[in-house]
Chain A
């Protein structure tokens, strides 16, 4: 078990290293010089950049120093501000993104599981059709479209919610729904098929033959087994949430890291783009690591062998 965890952590570090290297390569293959001193760039920013990226050194030294700085969680200065660093931006944006992401994940998982179970138990009846239509809509409608539809109807036309920005809990409702819809649909579909498979298992009949209550059987025998495949995809779902948050935060003007990233793209603020990419990747890999370890804890069959499959 311990060996498995150590192996997974090492693997995560390799992946993070690969991502940092890729960002370095991307930085140096951007057409033109990303750090060319444009007219608008203040002298101080330019000097900061030169010293952070060690542009006077040979490329391999630059790479080594870059790795070292990232390892110390120093993402360098921003192109657009001479007072705020990328670290400052991330520090400001992260709590917001974390709240939005957590809200959306909880909503997606809870609703997805419930819909999936309801659909499976009422297979080929109207609750099943209802849940699956909802799931197909969730998968077919991209988040930016859903978000703009929600703004148009719930915020602009009916004025139920504020159009944008991030202040009270009420402001978080529409972004959370927009972000949660796709993973929710995904989980609902997965949970349905997983639950259907479990319902056909022999141990479900064993449970029934013991005279146990239907609800008890559904939870202890059904849910407990059917949830396993859902746990394995939680990593992918989180990745979906992360990338989905770029769009959603941008549309709703949520001051998180996603919006930071998108603004970075619009402003061609490369240090911001790279910094938020690396930060996101680290968070994501860390989350997937947790999911993997959690899985071994939930599925007793894995604990003994210590292998992932």
Chain B
């Protein structure tokens, strides 16, 4: 399959009052046509920054794309001028945001917000675009689509607004949709509906999706491939099966263990990873997960582990995979 998007060694920093925050550090991954890729990790681990970088949505300054390539159909987006980027945004790549309550313009009708992209990119007339908008709303399961076009965002519920956001993202038949925590702000029952809808639409259109989430349940449901990020770096990646059946990075293991399960002993406490992610103003020299890792070794403190292929398509960056670490790795296996 063709690689639709390929990110190579992406580094993004924010120049803040306190200094340079290295939010994304050497991230590389690729997305194939029709593939659904999940980026998971705690808040502040660089997921959203990576996603916004793909469309160059970060305001620079304070953001700065330090290094790397974002290849879309083999063309690097980073050096592309704003004018060219505008032709890609909303047209070839579109985005769904976390909070549907604040992501829609409160003083503009839904219909207007739906057709803006169509008028701009497909050069449709307003009338034709509005007809198209009705179909879009029907596709995302909004009843009475035609009369709803005249409504304002506040007249929709949270779930309905997210459906509108999805319709907006779909408007120009993009090749890639980036969904930044699309269900986090919704009620649990609504979350399932929205996910099912996204899955269905993805199958129908064969669009590629990058799904950013901290909810591993969502990942298992929708995605083909998983990228685990921690402190601005990719620490593990692989297919959904690989990651779920055999997580190799202690951080991924921790994430897996933190999912509450029905078959859990009621008396056992839910697992949580100790501490919080490091300050990216001054990222650690060694492994960034070192201060929170149960299996930390001396080497982890000062030496940075590289991302290495561990099996099949699965990559992981951890010193435990080093031949010299067999003793420690054996202990890890015992634990599980």
Contact = CB atoms under 8 A, between A and B. Distances in A.
A202 B102 contact: yes
Given A211-B120, A212-B90, A300-B154, A221 B105 contact: yes
Nearest to A203: B105
B106 A211 contact: no
Most B CB within 10 A of own CB, among A208, A209, A301, A304: A209
A207 B90 CA distance: 9
Interface string B221-248: 0000000000000000000000000000
A213 B99 contact: no
List the 5 closest pairs (A to B, CB-CB), nearest first: A211-B89, A210-B90, A211-B90, A202-B102, A209-B95
Contacts of A224: 105, 107-108
10 contacts: A201-B102, A202-B103, A206-B104, A206-B105, A206-B165, A208-B57, A208-B89, A210-B116, A221-B108, A225-B105
Contact of B155 (A208, A221, A304): A304
Interface residues of A, number: 22
B90 A203 contact: no
B89 A209 contact: yes
Interface string B279-318: 0000000000000000000000000000000000000000
A211 B91 contact: yes
A217 to B, nearest CB: 10
A220 B89 contact: no
Contacts of A206: 95, 97, 103-105, 165, 168
A205 interface: yes
Interface of B: 52, 55, 57, 85-91, 94-95, 97-99, 102-108, 116-117, 120-121, 152, 154-155, 165, 168
B90 A209 contact: yes
A220 B105 contact: yes
A52 B106 CA distance: 55
Contact of B103 (A203, A299, A300): A203
Given A201-B102, A203-B102, A225-B106, A212 B154 contact: no
Interface string A182-219: 00000000000000000001110111111111000000
B106 A210 contact: no
A225 B107 contact: yes
B19 to A, nearest CB: 18
Most A CB within 10 A of own CB, among B154, B165, B168: B154
A299 B59 CA distance: 28
Contacts of A210: 89-90, 94, 116-117, 120, 168
A211 B88 contact: yes
Given A203-B102, A210-B116, 10 more contacts: A202-B103, A205-B57, A205-B97, A206-B165, A207-B105, A211-B121, A212-B86, A212-B116, A300-B107, A300-B152
A228 B105 CA distance: 13
A220 B109 CA distance: 11
Contact of A209 (B55, B102, B104, B121): B55
A128 to B, nearest CB: 15
Contacts of B121: 211
Contact of B117 (A201, A211, A221, A304): A211
A209 B116 CA distance: 11
A221 to B, nearest CB: 5
Nearest to B88: A211
B99 A202 contact: yes
A213 B85 CA distance: 11
A208 B60 CA distance: 14
Contacts of B52: 205
A202 B99 CA distance: 8
Most B CB within 10 A of own CB, among A202, A210, A225: A210
Nearest to A214: B82
A212 B102 CA distance: 18
Most B CB within 10 A of own CB, among A201, A205, A221, A228: A205
Nearest to B85: A211
Contacts of B168: 206, 210
A93 to B, nearest CB: 39
Contacts of B154: 300-301, 304
A300 B106 contact: yes
Contacts of B105: 203, 206-207, 220-221, 224-225
Interface string A273-309: 0000000000000000000000000111100100000
Contacts of B94: 209-210
Contacts of A212: 86, 90, 116-117, 120
A1 to B, nearest CB: 15
A228 B89 CA distance: 29
B152 to A, nearest CB: 4
